[in-house]
Amino acid sequence: MFVWIFHRISGLLLILLMTFQLVTGFYQASASGDPLVQTMADLHRHALLNCLMVFLFVFHALYGIRTILMDLGMKHERLLFWCCNAVGLIIYAVFLVLYVQLV
């Protein structure tokens, strides 16, 4: 039940965050000194929002793969859940290390 709810909520949050990133990305090219423009441009590069979006993307994708495998007949629901969590944490940890080092 947790996976089903998380998958739906993460999908909605991803739509909102990606729309937000797209809109704030338009402010990156602006040469205006307006405080609103600068604030929106700074939000585009906000580390917490970027990390949240990657976290949601990784687990949304893995739980989607889990759902597909279960629909195709895999019986080990608990094993799939823990494998998706382990792979997701590894991918996200690698992302965080690279993000901290490169950005």
Please name the helix (run of DSSP H) or strand (run of DSSP E) that holds residue 37, with its range, or none.
helix 35-44
Domain containing residue 92? 2-102
CA 16 – CA 47 distance, rounded (Å): 17
Q: CATH number of the domain at 73, please.
A: 1.20.1300
- pTM comes to 0.84
Residue 16 has φ and ψ, to the nearest 5°, of -65, -45
Of 95, 87, 83, nearest in space to 52 by CA = 95
pLDDT tens, position by position, for the chain (103 residues)? 788 899 999 999 999 999 999 988 887 777 777 788 888 878 888 889 999 999 999 999 999 999 999 999 888 889 999 999 999 999 999 999 999 999 8
Number of domains in the chain: 1
